């Protein structure tokens, strides 16, 4: 009965019953195990050639990378090699593109360099990452104003005001952005809000007066300038002189040259000796119908600077307008003694010849 030695086709026999096949499989498995062991032993660790597996850096860690550059910038500002510093800061910022303060720092460096385009680019990146930065919106708004883009400036400064509605400086610059767009009423509201928040902010008063002038409210502008004059600190004399001259011009436009001269009388002799100021005072005397007084303004200056032929020429022109031919002739002779080849001599001779 030979069938007892046959294996039925349906029976599954174990490979261990076949020594040759079992040896082959065992050798293959050992080879795989050895290969995996060698591979794992030589594989790079989490800190080798695999940035994705590097430990995540905290914001403090990233800031610490910028800090030496910030310190260097603050300590050597005005003397430091900005191009080199920008290159170093950009390298760190590119490694951490989601770090808003880093983008801002690069933008500030470009701003200090005078590269407004790149400054705006990096500042915009910072604001995109963190839009709730009032001071950064202020900086962005100022850059836009410098680039003659008051609409963009107003957008940034409006956001700054929303973030810090009690910040007078934000309202002041927002007013400037509206003024640059010829929106006088909106600008005036912003200036008034700035002054309401900070009564020492005389720039807001000056801006308000400018808005009133644009709206043909000259009398109100005169009053506003008086407020600015009264509140200007003693240490800011140059600013006060600017405001006094501005108020005098407004009074002149209102047809009050006598009051304009009263305002100019508050200037010191040294300030009145400046040619632009002397010219303004002469024009107010002329507006009063007294060109002789206008001539005296220049004659007083000429007495202290006898070699100044320009002062003598202006004095002569006002004397001619006053009909005082003799004094005009004296000034002409004075100029000829200084320099007989000056072209103004022929001009004055012609004007004198037209005087009755």
* Residue-wise pLDDT tens digits, 97-123: 999 999 999 999 999 899 999 999 999
Mean pLDDT highest for which of 19-33, 66-80, 147-161? 147-161
323 phi-psi bin (left φ>0, alpha ψ -120 to 50, beta other): left
For the chain, domain boundaries? 271-356
Compute the distance between CA of residue 246 and CA of residue 221 in angstroms, rounded to an integer. Answer: 10
Average pLDDT over the chain reads 87
Q: What is the tens place of the pLDDT at every residue in 247-300? A: 999 999 999 999 999 999 999 999 999 999 999 999 999 999 999 999 999 999
Which residues lie below 8 Å from residue 17, measured CB to CB, with a gap of 6+? none
In the predicted structure, residue 193 carries a pLDDT above the cut 60: yes
Using alpha carbons, list the distances in angstroms from residue 345 to 111, 284, 286, 292, 307.
51, 26, 23, 20, 15
CB atoms within 10 A of CB 165: 12
Compute the distance between CA of residue 45 and CA of residue 40 in angstroms, rounded to an integer. Answer: 10
Using alpha carbons, list the distances in angstroms from residue 311 to 175, 204, 288.
41, 37, 21
Q: Please name the CATH architecture into which domain 271-356 falls.
A: Alpha Horseshoe (1.25)
Q: Do residues 153 and 145 lie in contact, with contact meaning Cβ atoms separated by under 8 Å?
A: yes
161 phi-psi bin (left φ>0, alpha ψ -120 to 50, beta other): alpha
Reference 127, options 148, 143, 150, 151; nearest CA is: 143
Q: Do residues 61 and 96 lie in contact, with contact meaning Cβ atoms separated by under 8 Å?
A: no
Residue with tokens 């320099």: 339
Reference 98, options 126, 135, 118; nearest CA is: 126
Q: Do residues 229 and 244 lie in contact, with contact meaning Cβ atoms separated by under 8 Å?
A: yes
Compute the distance between CA of residue 145 and CA of residue 181 in angstroms, rounded to an integer. Answer: 10
Compute the distance between CA of residue 190 and CA of residue 172 in angstroms, rounded to an integer. Answer: 6
Residue with tokens 């140059």: 238
Using alpha carbons, list the distances in angstroms from residue 181 to 136, 141, 149, 188, 202.
22, 14, 9, 12, 22
In the predicted structure, residue 136 carries a pLDDT above the cut 70: yes
Using alpha carbons, list the distances in angstroms from residue 295 to 19, 43, 306.
131, 96, 15
Beta strand extents in 42-182 (DSSP E only):
none
Compute the distance between CA of residue 221 and CA of residue 216 in angstroms, rounded to an integer. Answer: 9
Q: Do residues 163 and 140 lie in contact, with contact meaning Cβ atoms separated by under 8 Å?
A: no
Arithmetic mean of pLDDT, 142-156: 96
Task: Quote the tokens at residue 96.
Answer: 């951490």
In the predicted structure, residue 44 carries a pLDDT above the cut 80: no
Burial of 341 per CB tally in 10 Å (0-12, 13-18, 19+): exposed
Position 76 confidence tier, pLDDT thresholds 50, 70, 90? confident
């Amino acid at each position: 009965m030979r069938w007892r030695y046959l294996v039925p086709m349906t029976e599954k026999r174990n490979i261990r019953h076949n020594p040759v096949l079992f040896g082959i499989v065992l050798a293959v498995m050992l080879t795989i195990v050895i290969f995996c062991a060698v591979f794992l032993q030589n594989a790079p660790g989490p800190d080798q050639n695999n940035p994705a597996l590097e430990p995540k850096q905290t914001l403090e860690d990233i800031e610490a990378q910028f800090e030496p550059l910030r310190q260097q910038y603050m300590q050597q500002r005005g003397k430091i090699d900005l191009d080199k510093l920008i290159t170093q800061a950009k390298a760190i910022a590119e490694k951490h593109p989601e770090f808003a303060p880093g983008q801002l720092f690069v933008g500030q460096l470009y701003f200090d360099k005078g590269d407004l385009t790149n400054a705006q680019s990096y500042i915009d990146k910072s604001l995109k990452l963190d839009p709730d930065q009032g001071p950064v919106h202020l900086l962005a708004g100022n850059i836009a104003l410098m680039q003659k883009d008051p609409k963009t400036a107003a957008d940034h400064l409006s956001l700054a005001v929303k973030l810090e509605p009690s910040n007078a400086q934000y309202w002041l610059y927002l007013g400037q952005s509206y003024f640059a767009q010829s929106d006088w009423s909106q600008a005036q509201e912003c200036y008034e809000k700035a002054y309401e928040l900070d009564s020492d902010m005389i720039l807001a008063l000056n801006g308000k007066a400018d808005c009133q002038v644009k709206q043909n409210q000259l009398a109100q502008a005169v009053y506003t300038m008086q407020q600015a004059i009264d509140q200007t600190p003693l240490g800011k004399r140059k600013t006060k002189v600017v405001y006094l001259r501005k108020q005098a011009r407004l009074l002149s436009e209102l047809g009050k040259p006598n009051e304009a001269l009263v305002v100019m009388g508050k200037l010191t002799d040294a300030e009145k000796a400046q040619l632009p100021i002397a010219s303004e005072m002469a024009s107010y005397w002329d507006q009063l119908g007294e060109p002789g007084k206008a001539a005296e303004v220049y004659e007083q200056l000429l007495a202290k600077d006898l070699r100044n032929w320009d002062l003598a020429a202006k004095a002569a022109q006002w004397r001619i307008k006053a009909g005082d031919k003799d004094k005009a002739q004296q000034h002409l002779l004075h100029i000829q003694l200084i320099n007989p080849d000056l072209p103004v001599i022929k001009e004055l001779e012609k004007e004198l010849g037209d005087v009755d």
